[in-house]
Amino acid sequence: MNYEPEIILQIKQGRSKFIAMASTYFLGAFNDNFFKQAAMLMAVVAGKSELQGKATILFSLPFVLFSAYSGWMADRFSKRKVIIGAKFLELTAMIIGAFGIITVNWNCMLAMVFLMGLQSAIFGPALNGSIPELYPEIYVGHANAVVKFVSTAAILAGISLAGIVLDKNGVFMGADLGQVLVAAVTLLVALLGVMLSFGVNKSAPVGSSVPFPFTGPLRSLLEFFSICKDPPLFLAIIGDAFFYFLSLLAVLNINTFGLNQLGLTRTITSLLTVSLMIGICAGSFLAARIIATKPWTSVLFPASLGMGIGLLLTFTAPYMPESIRQILLFIFLFITGCCGGAFLIPVTSFIQIRPSPNEKGRIIAVSNFCSFSAMLIAGQVFIMMDHCLSPAGNLAVLGVFSILVSFCFLAMQKRKGINHV
């Protein structure tokens, strides 16, 4: 795509700062997903699949409780200092998690998940609020696609390697070799992330005069209601929440689908989620090109409809011939992911662009509050679904739900007249 010379210059000037920021994000996303996938696979094999729902709740809870504070910090202080502090918190979380996974202490593993949620709640507004500061508005969609590529690559690496490492047979100092390797990797990556965080761009704080949000979650809720007065931003925020609610339930059900219903290995089960994430990555770059020339709302209906169709196709896999079942599963999940990436990038970009500079951290924090409230609910929903339906049946329910929501988005766009924003 061709840009004006001054825009190209601004893009080049921000590139080195963006690379440092993206690298720090990559390591955190890798560690988070590597550890969580290893812990969830261990839980399913141990007959404790309900722990997946509990872990989801604990990871989401800090976003609900502390998003108002993290948004305030991102607007009030240097984003670099906030990012460095978040990476030290990640290191602390990984020390606790490493002990838990070696000793199979579920409480320590769940504590680690909660602390990683807190770290992400603090890290997110500072990182996402930095992107519009580095690049012109027309390039933000592309920058978000790159961030999504980086995070997806990290998630892919984390999820796929978790199953492979856990399947390593052997004993090391009386502990399972696979679990020891998981602990060692998480600690090393967390330490490297701390060191790289010092290379993040030194930007001056925006200096927002908004008072400290003492009421926390109540403040986030009130700010969400105030956002309802801005229909396009409201649509973007609830769209973001819908995406994370749906994608989380899909990933949790894929684990039980692969291990319990289809009898796949932990490695193959992890690779099923990898195919979903590769699709998200591909869809992200497709969306970045679309929204450069068309309204961001133009992709909401077809993308959410496509996610639903992809999940319904995944539901049919157990009824397919065994010789082609795995191939079809990978294809169906890739299609679902492509539609998911095409949905997410326009929504994320608009949430970053819409607020004024001194409100970006706060608005992004409100978006996080809503998205992780949806994920908190998703954790509870998964526990109920896991007891009521088969994993394939759950995927079918999610597919129908996504299709219904796609028509709701279409109706909202027409009713509010926001098709061309």
Instruction: Report d(CA 352, CA 138) in Å as an integer.
Output: 12
Please tell me the predicted confidence (pLDDT) of residue 235: 92
- Report the candidate in 186, 39, 175, 174 with the shortest Cα–Cα distance to residue 110: 39
Q: What are 319's two structure tokens?
A: 């009824």
List, in order, residues 6 or more apart from 173 with CB less than 8 Å away: 180
- Whole-number Å distance between alpha carbons of 214 and 217: 9
The pLDDT assigned to 331 comes to 93
Residue 235's φ and ψ, nearest 5 degrees, are -60, -40
Please tell me the distance from the alpha carbon of residue 53 to that of residue 107, in angstroms, as a whole number. Answer: 14
pLDDT under 70 in the chain at which residues?
A: 1-17, 128-142, 144-145, 148, 152, 200-210, 357, 416-421
Q: Quote the pLDDT of residue 340.
A: 92
pTM listed for this prediction: 0.70
pLDDT at 140: 63
pLDDT tens readout for residues 101-120: 898 899 898 998 899 888 88
Residue 193's pLDDT is what? 87
d(C-alpha 282, C-alpha 287), whole Å? 9
**Residue environment code for 311-321, b if the CB has 16+ CB neighbours within 10 A, otherwise e:** bbbbbebeeee
Is domain 17-198+217-416 classified as CATH 1.20.1250.20?
A: yes
Contact 216, 72 (CB under 8 A): no
Phi then psi dihedrals of residue 212, to 5 deg: -60, 130
Alpha-carbon distance 103 to 182, whole Å?
12
Nearest 5°: phi and psi at 272? -60, -45
Query: What percent of the chain lies above the pLDDT cut of 90?
Result: 17
Distance CA 235, CA 72 (A): 23
Task: Look at residue 339 in the predicted model and tell me its pLDDT.
Answer: 94
At 395 the pLDDT is: 93
Other Cβ atoms closer than 10 A to 107: 9
